Amino acid sequence: MIELRTPGEIEAMRPAGAFVASVLERLRDEIAVGVNLLELDRIAHDMIRARGAESCYIDYHPSFGAMPFGKVLCTSVNDAVLHGLPFDYRIEDGDVVTVDFAASVDGWVSDSALTVIAGTPRPEDERLIATTEQALAAGIAAARPGGKLGDISAAIGDVCAAAGYSVNLDFGGHGVGHTMHGEPHVPNDGRAGRGLKLKPGLVIAIEPWLLETTDELFTDPDGWTLRSADGSRGAHSEHTVAITADGPLILTQRTR
């Protein structure tokens, strides 16, 4: 069921969005060569406790998960792109690091992700990350009342295709509310003018992700981490967005 939120409910979702944004800002500052992925998870966990928030991940156990996730942060490095389970790994020079974080504050969830390069960047990695960020911006710009869900998908897919990347449709955006994953599914490619009519009150996570030279994934033996089939690197950009009468409102907007 697709639930529409009142303007008052969208106001009530702002603290969760601001908290998730603050965690990603802190993590972006912390990601550096030599830092352990478990340390990033610990920082996020400390911030959850300090805020009195609730993790959406730690007890998360969907049908495709081998076990409850057990951490509060997804850390996906290099050929890992989604659902990266933090493990005892120190970030190396040139690593591409995605952090994806969702938490609940006052009963409302927000979900956001970013990808950064630690140390010396490779141009092809910078281009991959820039494309996911441009695709996210295009998808958000299309999240307007009167439009269709397909407008968001097409806007994302067009940016990715123009840059020469292929899009995987198995994992995409989703409705966000009292729980992390609701309807509708928001594919990262589609046809403009098709699908659900966008109305004020729809709150969705929009989350383009790309792999450099494939769109196929496999699951790591850890049971969670999704890696590229060919070893190429991935990038992921995500915001939680409320569609309002005035247009898209980015609930997880970072302030720096």
Q: Which residues of this protein are in contact with Mg ion, per CB under 5 A?
A: 100, 111, 113, 238
Least Å distance between CB 6 and Mg ion?
24
Q: What minimum distance in Å lies between the beta carbon of 120 and Mg ion?
A: 27
Of 79 and 238, which has the nearer Cβ to Mg ion? 238
Q: Which is nearer to Mg ion, 148 or 226 (CB)?
A: 226
Q: The tokens of 124 are what?
A: 């092809």
Cβ neighbours of residue 12 closer than 8 Å, sequence gap 6 or more: 106, 108
Nearest to 233 by CA among 187, 179, 177, 165: 165
Query: Which is closer to Mg ion, CB of 136 or CB of 159?
Result: 136
The least distance separating Mg ion from the CB of residue 165, rounded to whole angstroms, comes to 20
Q: How far is the CB of 34 from Mg ion (least distance, A)?
A: 26
Which CB atom, from 95 or from 238, has the smaller least distance to Mg ion?
A: 238
> Are 5 and 175 in contact, with CB atoms under 8 Å apart?
no
Between helices 149-162 and 123-141, what is the axis angle to 10°?
160
CB of 55 to Mg ion, least distance (A): 12
What token pair was written down for 111? 């979900």
Closer of 98 and 228 to Mg ion (Cβ): 98
Cis-peptide, bond into residue 184, ω within 30° of zero = yes
Alpha helices in 57-148 (DSSP H): 123-141
Phi, psi of 146 (to 5 degrees): 95, -20
